[in-house]
């Protein structure tokens, strides 16, 4: 499951609950799915083969900064976003998984 703006992901546990780590270094927690708006979800391919290797990207310095408070409500403020904010993650994206070993 992907939360707003794809800032982090969660795994659905069942019974309306998800396990999530809001950001690198934050506490992993179990939360009701209704606690955060959902951007989308995918179902892993049960017939897929595991990747032989994966090297995660280097995290930017600010990746573990900030509070671990979650969402109190979500509003799309893209029109009023401060583009000088050093915590803006729009230029950072993880590489696509290596699927050549499948």
pLDDT score, position 19: 87
pLDDT score, position 89: 42
pLDDT score, position 68: 59
pLDDT score, position 94: 45
The token pair that represents 5 in the structure block: 């703006």
pLDDT score, position 23: 73
In the predicted model, residues of the chain with pLDDT beneath 70 are 1-8, 36, 66-102
Q: How buried is residue 95: exposed, middle or buried, by Cβ count under 10 Å (0-12/13-18/19+)?
A: exposed
pLDDT score, position 31: 83
pLDDT score, position 52: 78
């Amino acid at each position: 499951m992907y939360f707003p703006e794809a800032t982090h992901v969660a795994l659905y546990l069942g019974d309306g609950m998800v396990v999530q780590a809001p950001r690198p270094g934050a506490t992993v927690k179990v939360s009701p799915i209704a606690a955060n708006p959902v951007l989308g979800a995918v179902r892993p391919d049960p017939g897929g083969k595991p990747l032989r290797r994966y090297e995660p990207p280097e995290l930017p310095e600010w990746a573990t900064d900030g509070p671990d408070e979650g969402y109190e409500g979500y509003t799309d403020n893209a029109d009023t976003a401060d583009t000088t904010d050093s915590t803006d993650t729009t230029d950072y994206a993880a590489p696509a998984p290596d699927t050549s070993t499948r």
